[in-house]
Amino acid sequence: MQNRVPLIAGNWKMHKNCSEAESTAEELVKLVSDVKNVDIMIAPSFVSLALVNKKINGSNISLGAQNIFWEKEGAFTGEISKDMLISAGCTYVIIGHSERRQYFNETDETVNKKIKTTLASGLKPVLCIGETEQERESKKTFSVLDKQIKNGLQSFILEDLDSLSIAYEPVWAIGTGKTATKEQAQEVHNFIRSLISKEFNSKLASAMRIIYGGSVKPDNISQLMNMSDIDGALVGGASLKSETFSKIVKFK
Ligand code: 13P
């Protein structure tokens, strides 16, 4: 994995009310306090961000948001701005998750705008990409990812992208218990890194964290992390219990 610091992130999706989020965060702080050389992030719902931030303050856990809107402020009912996320304590923003693409009309174009805003505000974007089962079966995996990356990162310059991570989340592996094999994931991660190298340069490509998401659990994390191009995980279901997530964080 070269010298890339792994990123293990928990995407809580639409789970946990405010007090549940607070108590999970509180437990997690204790469980992972001894972990070094791993970046740990949790992304609760918007309403819990500031509360969770208070619980993780001073710990080795960072706060992430599950979405962002690109406008600074204004009449955009239901949306959330970069300033709001920063004031709630966020460091990371998950962008373009397949559930947002599938249910909320997220497109490569909106993803592109959101990444732009995120980078300009000093927050760290985690760009999510991934193919559906049908696309994999019809051998379109690489062309789908190629398009998602090229369009999502269109018109960025090299200097912009230092803090970007990419999460490869095959849609067929999300919440299904069907993890990609370590070989399947490695093959795709290697493809993504080569594409970044071709589109930008090899220095950026070798520094960029490419993390895997899709049914990551305590019992499959180590084999995934052993692969040379897998730099961490974006965890859904298994991040909801502090004890389970802490085992993933301590994958070694
Ligand atoms: P699961 O870990 O529940 O499969 O979800 C993965 C995911 O979508 C993380 O963003």
Give the Cα separation of 52 and 250 in Å (integer). 21
DSSP single-letter state for residue 130: -
Active site residue: 99, 106, 131, 169, which one? 169
Residue-wise pLDDT for 47-69, tens only, equals 999 999 999 999 999 999 999 99
Domain membership flag for residue 106: yes
- Tens of pLDDT, residue by residue over 129-149, are 999 999 999 999 999 999 999
CA 232 to centroid of ligand 1, rounded, Å: 13
The answer to whether residue 93 is domain-embedded is yes
Q: Would you say residue 35 lies in a domain?
A: yes
Total domains, the chain: 1
Does residue 189 have an active-site annotation?
Answer: no
Give the active site residue among 97, 99, 135, 189: 97
CATH number assigned to the domain comprising residue 171 = 3.20.20.70
pLDDT of residue 158: 86
* Domain annotation covers residue 200: yes
Sign of CA dihedral 224, 226, 229, 234: positive
Ligand 1 pocket: which of 133, 169, 245 to mutate (most atoms within 8 A of CB): 169
If one counts every other C-beta atom within 10 angstroms of the C-beta of residue 100, the result is 19
- Of all helices (H) and strands (E), which one includes residue 109? helix 108-120
Going by CA atoms, what residue is nearest to atom 9 of ligand 1?
236
- Confidence band of 42 (pLDDT split at 50, 70, 90): very high
Which atom in ligand 1 lies closest to the alpha carbon of residue 234?
A: 9
Q: Has residue 1 been placed in a domain?
A: no
Q: Say if 41 falls within a structural domain.
A: yes
User: By the 8 A CB rule, do 67 and 94 touch?
Assistant: yes
CB under 6 Å to ligand 1: residues? 11, 97, 169, 174-175, 213-216, 234-238
Tell me the torsion sign for CA atoms 221, 227, 232, 237. negative
Report how far apart the first and last C-alpha atoms of the chain are (Å, whole number): 13
Q: Is the pTM value of this prediction over 0.85?
A: yes
Burial (Cβ within 10 Å: 0-12, 13-18, ≥19) of residue 111: buried
Q: Does 2 reside within a domain? A: no
Residue 188, domain extent: 7-249
Residue 173 Cα to ligand 1 middle (Å): 8
Residue 182 within a domain: yes
79 belongs to the catalytic site:
no
